[in-house]
Amino acid sequence: MWQNVRCKITKRLPITIYKRCFANRQLLLIGDSNVRSSGTTIINKMEFKHLKGNPNSHLPQDVLAYDKNNSITLSMFPHQLPYYAHKFVDKNVFVSAAKRLDDIPAGDNRIILIHLWMHMLRISVHAFRHHVRQIRQAIERLIQRSPNVHISIKGPHTYTYKDQLPVDYAAHTNMVGRIRRSPKQSHISQ
């Protein structure tokens, strides 16, 4: 079932409640720097041990951490290409979210967070929809073989900076500008 929960945290819960909730489970986070931020907060607040990667790095990379006492594992992965990073990143780091979901075995109960937004702003809507459709199909397959998984999809949001236009506005303006300048698209009214 697809449900928009429009969450707003109004009360801070003790870490022990989160540890009890996540006990004996795996957390799978797929996305961009927003997912990295959420994952890093979980790793630091819940005092996980790092096994692979650096959750504090701004470079997209695989991160694996765990809490042995509560049997909690956190895996954090960047989403598929296109992924606009500030520096060169090996393309092998980027695996589609759909493939990662398809790799989850039957009977699994992990908690999954998927977020596609910031690093996909510069691609066409058609390409973005293609990725989302692939993810939806993978989710449907996953729920068939592992009905006890919990999946959350974090949707688009606005970024604002004190001295800049909002990033989503800037990306929209950039895309409209490219369409208007394109000689093949001369039939588009201005």
Count how many Cα atoms sit within 13 Å of the Cα of residue 170 in the half-sphere of its side chain: 10
- pLDDT bracket for residue 103 (50, 70, 90): very high
Could you identify the residue written with the tokens 């409640």?
17
Please state, in angstroms and rounded to a whole number, the distance separating the CA atoms of residues 180 and 177.
5
pLDDT tens, position by position, 47-93: 888 776 766 666 666 778 889 999 988 888 776 656 556 666 666 66
Tokens representing 127 are 């390409």
Kindly give the pairing relationship between strand 63-67 and strand 150-154: unpaired
Output the pTM of the full model: 0.69
pLDDT tens, position by position, 4-38: 555 566 677 788 888 888 899 998 888 877 777 77
Strands, E assignment, 32-118: 49-52, 63-67, 72-78, 111-115
**Which is more confidently placed, 119 or 106?**
106
- From the list 73, 44, 46, 45, the residue with the least C-alpha distance to 56 is 44
Residue 46: per-residue pLDDT: 83
Tokens representing 71 are 């049997």
pLDDT for 3 beyond 60: no
Residue 132: per-residue pLDDT: 81
Please state, in angstroms and rounded to a whole number, the distance separating the CA atoms of residues 95 and 38.
20
Angle at 21 between CA 93 and CA 38, to 5 degrees: 35
Question: What residues does 26 pair with on adjacent strands?
Answer: 73
pLDDT tens, position by position, 147-190: 999 988 876 655 555 555 555 544 444 444 444 444 444 343 33
- pLDDT bracket for residue 139 (50, 70, 90): very high
Count how many Cα atoms sit within 13 Å of the Cα of residue 102 in the half-sphere of its side chain: 10
Please state, in angstroms and rounded to a whole number, the distance separating the CA atoms of residues 19 and 3.
25
Backbone angles phi, psi at 50, to 5 degrees: -80, 135
Tokens representing 180 are 């208007």
Residue 107: per-residue pLDDT: 94
Residue 101: per-residue pLDDT: 92
Task: Calculate the alpha carbon distances from 65 to 2, 21, 139, 166, 188 in Å.
Answer: 29, 17, 24, 33, 50
